């Protein structure tokens, strides 16, 4: 039996507030991602290229959590079909209950053997998007994910990734990291719930108990970073088969990275 809509809405709202503690300009990032996807889809229509005989373009949201980005894309691009992918059963159930009309939610572990089969895609992807999720993958898993996405995307399709990327060792990169920390201090809300507090509170809610039981102890939002720089991401994308890669937005060491298949 699924979660009650009211319960899901309460926990998704808490998730949104908690995430704003870590992702400065979060709404701007989501808007930029939607700008890119909208532009690419409109470009295909202007050029007279059909979408493989399908009525709706197909977009995948990778590491979707409870559907924050998927819901915003659905509002902005109501003509698109969105598949939202995550490995966490609780976050997926929150998404299914609260954003049922936004996307089809699928449980799969990015980069694992056979993860793309779980998506049950009706055809090639027109776009894949992700927000502050891919930095959690190991380099090997990320490489496999990029290779798999290159195979799933149609020619001209795009991967749009908004993420926190580590400095590459240059002095300007270290300065950018410092600027980002200071900006977060100025704009952050110290009394806002953090990552660990959210998960601890969820563990105490009996309505969520069955979904949390198989889940390992959560890491902090600051942990689990693969340490890869923008330069390394670009190299992995090119090696995977993306012919045109670059950034379209940056704030300190936070980027929106676009890769064209």
The confidence score (pLDDT) of residue 173 equals 72
The confidence score (pLDDT) of residue 257 equals 97
The confidence score (pLDDT) of residue 217 equals 45
Alpha-carbon distance values, 201 to 51, 97, 118, 210 (Å): 44, 19, 31, 14
Residues of the chain with pLDDT under 50: 1, 50, 215-223
The confidence score (pLDDT) of residue 48 equals 53
The confidence score (pLDDT) of residue 165 equals 86
CATH code for the domain in which residue 33 is found? 3.40.50.150
The confidence score (pLDDT) of residue 185 equals 72
The confidence score (pLDDT) of residue 219 equals 45
Number of domains in the chain: 1
The confidence score (pLDDT) of residue 21 equals 80
CB count within 10 Å of CB 78 equals 10
Can you say whether residue 213 is alpha, beta or left, with left for phi > 0 and alpha for psi between -120 and 50 degrees? Answer: alpha
Which residues, including other chains, have CB under 8 Å from residue 61's CB and lie 6 or more apart?
A: 67, 69, 70, 73, 82, 83, 84, 85, 103, 128, 129, 130
The confidence score (pLDDT) of residue 166 equals 76
Range of the domain at 179: 5-260
């Amino acid at each position: 039996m699924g979660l009650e809509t009211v319960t899901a809405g309460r926990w998704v709202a808490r998730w949104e507030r908690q995430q704003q503690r870590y992702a400065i300009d979060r709404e701007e990032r989501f808007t930029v991602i939607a700008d890119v996807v909208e532009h690419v889809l409109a470009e295909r229509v202007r050029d007279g290229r059909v979408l493989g005989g399908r009525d709706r373009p197909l977009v995948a949201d990778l590491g979707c959590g409870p559907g924050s980005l998927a819901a915003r894309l659905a509002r902005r691009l109501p003509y698109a079909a969105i598949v939202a992918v995550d490995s966490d059963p609780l976050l997926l159930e929150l998404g299914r209950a609260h954003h049922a009309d936004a996307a089809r939610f699928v449980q799969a572990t990015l980069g694992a053997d056979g993860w793309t089969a779980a998506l049950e895609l009706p055809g090639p992807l027109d776009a894949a998007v992700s927000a502050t999720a891919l930095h959690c993958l190991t380099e090997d898993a990320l490489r496999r994910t990029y290779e798999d996405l290159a195979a799933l995307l149609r020619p001209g399709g795009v991967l749009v990734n908004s993420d926190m990327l580590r400095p590459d060792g240059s002095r300007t990169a270290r300065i950018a990291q410092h600027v980002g920390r200071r900006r977060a201090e100025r704009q952050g809300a110290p009394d806002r719930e953090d990552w660990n507090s959210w998960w601890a509170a969820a563990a105490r809610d009996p309505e969520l108990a069955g979904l949390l039981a198989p889940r390992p102890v959560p890491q902090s939002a600051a942990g689990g970073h693969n340490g890869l720089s923008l330069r390394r991401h670009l190299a992995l994308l090119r090696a995977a088969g993306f012919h045109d890669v670059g950034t379209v937005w940056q704030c300190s060491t936070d980027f929106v990275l676009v890769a064209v298949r």
